[in-house]
């Protein structure tokens, strides 16, 4: 960690916080920190067009809709469908767009 701080400085580190919660319609993900709304849109577009490999085909089939709201630094993604919090956390851990 000290090497990273020396290399980038405290302000150079870009942290994205992801808070995943199950809800009645599926799963919501709240992104905060160094996250742009366009980045989340890119992730959604990649998923919708099959360019994303972070979700299994089985999980993708369960997602009925994806809605992005909020603004840079505070973005919310709602995944509607029969998906679980665990499935989405696993997919996010493999995402190249938000990691």
pLDDT tens, residue by residue, 3-56: 344 344 445 556 899 999 999 999 999 999 999 999 999 999 988 888 888 899
Question: Hey, how many other C-beta atoms are within 10 angstroms of the C-beta on 13?
Answer: 12
Q: What is the DSSP string of 17-47?
A: EEEEEEETTEEEEEEEES--HHHHHHHHHHH
pLDDT, position 3: 38
Domains of the chain: 14-94 (3.30.1360)
pLDDT tens, residue by residue, 55-97: 999 999 999 999 999 999 999 999 999 999 999 999 999 988 8
């Amino acid at each position: 960690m000290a090497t990273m701080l020396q290399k980038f400085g405290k302000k150079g580190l870009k942290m994205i916080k992801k808070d995943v919660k199950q809800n009645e319609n599926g799963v919501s993900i709240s992104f905060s920190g160094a996250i742009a709304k366009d980045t989340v849109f890119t992730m959604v577009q990649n998923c919708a067009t099959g360019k994303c490999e972070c979700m299994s085909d089985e999980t993708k089939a369960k997602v009925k809709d994806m809605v992005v709201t909020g603004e840079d630094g505070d973005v919310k993604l709602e995944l509607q469908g029969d998906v679980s919090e665990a499935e989405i956390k696993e997919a996010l851990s493999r995402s190249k767009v938000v990691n």
